[in-house]
Amino acid sequence: MGQSADHLTSNQAQVLRHLRAANAPMTAYQLLGRMQNDRGAVAPPTVYRALKGLEEAGLIRRIETLRAWAPVAAIRPGVVVICDDCGTVRGVEAPSLLESLHQRLAAEGFAEARQTIEVHGRCGDCAEDRA
């Protein structure tokens, strides 16, 4: 069930810990490798089930454009901003923007259920590094 954030299973906690320790999204199989380092035999469903639970709890998101997972609090609706230089990902709230999109689509009769908005580019820190 879509569990709330007040309790994590140990697999979920372990996955979340690895995601938070990384400074960029991790693929499911990268996580699998970490867990195998930690514990020995672990199979893909273990990782995918933990990811599913964490996503439902609003603690992580799949970054569709990277096929990877990040501990971005599910500001949902929200925008994910990804630096292609350093790999960092962060969530950005943009309520007015999303409201205007919503109204735009509603006017055409489209009932919006969810959006995925991912922006790629270069963050301020990386721009400075190359200045």
Binding site for DNA (CB under 7 A): 1, 3, 9-12, 27-30, 41-46, 48-50, 52-53, 62, 67-68
Choose between 29 and 110: whose C-beta lies nearer to a second copy. Answer: 110
Catalog residues that contact a second copy under the rule CB under 8 A. Answer: 64-65, 79, 81, 83-84, 92, 94, 96-97, 100-101, 104-105, 108-125, 127
CB of 31 to a second copy, least distance (A): 20
Q: Is the peptide bond before 95 cis (omega within 30 degrees of 0)?
A: no
Going by DSSP bridges, is the β-strand pair 61-63/68-70 parallel, antiparallel, or unpaired? antiparallel
114 binds, among DNA, a second copy, none (CB under 5 to 8 A by kind): a second copy
Q: What angle do CA 34, 82, 72 make, to 5 degrees?
A: 60
Cα(13)–Cα(20) distance, integer angstroms:
10
